[in-house]
Structure 1
């Protein structure tokens, strides 16, 4: 694309065009999109046609009851979401500045980092910036990466799940993440060391198949010639997992770091079974090629400092 073409796109494309594409991708219905955007359906249809004409590509195929997105549409919607989320953050930051606020930091983290590493780093940065608004979301790496890409997070503690993601994110390693097989205190499996073949016959609480931790588990089972548990509840919530395990005979696979306080309180026990290697280093992820704010830079420095202690 020539420099003139880039200038032409920047001069023509509007926020309302991006909002229409994202809303249409969510609803896959032009009538619902028009209603959501407080405009008539003919006006929404014309706007979509104008966008497609401008780019010279079909973005959505019109079906009798739905709209099917094309590869070009998917690419454009991906960038539209990022720009709209960035715009929302700009508005929030301007409002905060006007009202005398002190900024906002939105962090995403895998469960293994949350119990030990993050509280220390958050306490440190809050001691330096007492009125900084800090929001923390805990989830698996695959889900957090999507949030980071679309600019719903400022920084993420986790790991890349596909090699191609190295082109999207910068990664600073922090520490490895061993995992443990966890049961409630007094579980029947605590009476003697069980085999892997025994534990898969019990109910399990596991991350979804797309998560690195679940992948580690499935590889270990396959290498041992043991079938996958059939009685499974899937969740990425650490709190829900611990509640389910504490109230039943269910078994869970969790980062070992989560258990350090819980095990000391006598609520849970790690079974003497090794599931594969540690998940590998998790670290700090930020969007590649994007200048990070002073707050994010200070937070990362705090994490690296704590990791070195």
Structure 2
């Protein structure tokens, strides 16, 4: 088997080969993938055979009702999608600069970072780069890291969620997050001076998805106390949706202290007098390993460091 080389691959492979891999992975059907690319099915099939011949392994397994990536094929599809996302980003950035803009910065942020340090850092950056387009995607860390890996984001303010992710990303810690149980001000539990963890399971909960670090901390705390996980739950990563749900029904939620300052100041919410779980691990700046940041992203990172250095807020302990 001939050894693969990047030089030989660049001289032979075309963008249409990458597109075929991605479309075929999404549709699992050669006819549908060919139609998406405006090709005949025989032409698309030949492209796949050429790819498999060049790489020396089967990329897709031909099953009766679908075409499924092999183990090696799945890795090839992953890289194809990353390359296509990179190309799409290049085209967008160049077009923006042709039209007089100054590029685009795509940021992923967990909910705790959105109201805390990120707005001030972005405001400072925009003072220096007023024509820079900034986009913020607020989700849980696991979803943001997938987008970062696939080059749909420039950097993430969040947490690593798996032990092997240090192979893909660099992580710089910023702040840790204590968690608090919050309810609407008129919830029956809000007026109690003492609340036991077991009592919370009799109420509906609003929680992050099971894959999020916050949910895992909550589940671990319940397991340590020998308490079953609540079965009356609503799952969302949106802080605003969570807070609105609390006002409309006698529910409870677990949220980082950093996102509760303004809601508590409004008088519409109350924090229950108990601690649930340990503080979340530090969240921080996550970037792709061995890949230099754009000048705008590097400026934002520097500004985030300044914000953290100048404002490390104290966190009241639940009484």
Superposed pair shares fold, TM > 0.5:
yes
- Structure 2 counterparts to residues 201-216 of structure 1, below 5 A: 201-216=202-217
1:151-185 Cα distance to aligned partner (Å, 9 max, x none)? 00011000111121111111111010111111111
Match of 1:111, SS state, is coil
In structure 1, stretches of 5+ residues that fail to align are none
Query: What's the counterpart of residue 16 of structure 1?
Result: 16
Measure the CA separation in 2 of the matches of 1:205 and 1:14.
48
Measure the CA separation in 2 of the matches of 1:65 and 1:194.
55
The TM-score with structure 1 as length reference comes to: 0.97
- Structure 2 counterparts to residues 114-125 of structure 1, below 5 A: 114-125=114-125
Measure the CA separation in 2 of the matches of 1:6 and 1:191.
66
Measure the CA separation in 2 of the matches of 1:274 and 1:42.
63
State yes or no: 1:251 paired with 2:256: no
The Cα shift of 1:10 comes to 2.1
1:213-232 Cα distance to aligned partner (Å, 9 max, x none)? 11000000000111100101
In structure 2, stretches of 5+ residues that fail to align are 311-319
The Cα shift of 1:269 comes to 1.4
- Structure 2 counterparts to residues 1-309 of structure 1, below 5 A: 5-192=5-192, 193-309=194-310
Cα distance change, pair 4–111 in 1 and its aligned pair in 2 (3 A): closer
Match of 1:253, SS state, is strand
1:225-256 Cα distance to aligned partner (Å, 9 max, x none)? 11100101111122221221121111111111
The Cα shift of 1:12 comes to 1.4
Measure the CA separation in 2 of the matches of 1:233 and 1:130.
40
Runs of 4+ aligned residues of structure 1 deviating over 6 Å after TM superposition are: 1-4
The Cα shift of 1:5 comes to 2.6
Measure the CA separation in 1 of the matches of 2:268 and 2:31.
53
Match of 1:107, SS state, is strand
8 Å contact kept, 2:158–2:285: yes
Measure the CA separation in 2 of the matches of 1:239 and 1:39.
45
Query: What's the counterpart of residue 315 of structure 2?
Result: none
Match of 1:112, SS state, is coil
Match of 2:230, SS state, is coil
What is the aligned-residue RMSD (CA, Å)? 1.4
8 Å contact kept, 2:117–2:308: yes
Measure the CA separation in 1 of the matches of 2:30 and 2:209.
33
Measure the CA separation in 2 of the matches of 1:5 and 1:258.
50
8 Å contact kept, 2:94–2:103: no
Paired residue total: 309
The Cα shift of 1:191 comes to 2.2
